[in-house]
Amino acid sequence: MFEALLPGAGAWIDGAPGLLRQWFWWIAAAAILYGAWRSHWRSRYVRLMRRTFEATNLFVKPRKDKMFPQLISLSATEDDLYYVFRYRLRPGMTVPQFEEKKKFFEATFHAEAKGFGKAGIVTIKVKKQKRPVPPTSSEQSA
């Protein structure tokens, strides 16, 4: 049947298991690299920030889609004590919005946070040394 539709398809279908076996290790390596990228601290922190922006309504909603601030840079080496996030603000956003939401950044990262900026750039610094999370009442009784 395949031979009538696609001449030479039978040989290709017969060779498919060999072709898949040949590409298995490349696909497995790509999956491992994707997992390593996904768990890397930079992408994890960017996802945490995006989730915090979502929770605190720090975005512009011009039509249907949400526009978050644009990440310019994330650095762990610029400051010895802090991770430094720099964002370009979208039209309609102001720096005081971020300064007011400092406690949400602190709660997200369990560390001290600072927010400041001027013009269309906001800088958020999150301390590298995390604060200890106090135990819950169920952990204290155990």
Is 104 found in the same domain as 81? yes
Tens-level pLDDT at each residue, the chain (142 residues): 556 666 666 666 666 777 777 788 889 999 999 988 877 878 888 888 888 888 888 877 766 677 888 889 998 888 889 999 999 988 888 888 888 888 888 888 888 999 889 888 999 999 988 766 667 766 666 5
Structure confidence at residue 32 (pLDDT): 94
Is 82 found in the same domain as 19? no
Is 72 found in the same domain as 114? yes
Separation in Å, CA 44 to CA 38, 79, 90: 7, 19, 23
- Let me know if 134 is exposed, middle or buried by CB neighbors in 10 A (0-12, 13-18, 19+): exposed
Is 60 found in the same domain as 123? yes
Is 120 found in the same domain as 108? yes
In which domain, by residue range, is 51 found? 41-127
**Which of 89, 88, 97, 124 lies closest to 108, judged by CA?**
124
- Let me know if 127 is exposed, middle or buried by CB neighbors in 10 A (0-12, 13-18, 19+): middle
- For 114, list phi and psi in degrees, rounded to 5: -130, 140
Structure confidence at residue 125 (pLDDT): 92
Structure confidence at residue 130 (pLDDT): 73
Is 31 found in the same domain as 97? no
Global pTM reads 0.61
Separation in Å, CA 59 to CA 12, 63, 91, 100, 106: 51, 12, 10, 14, 19
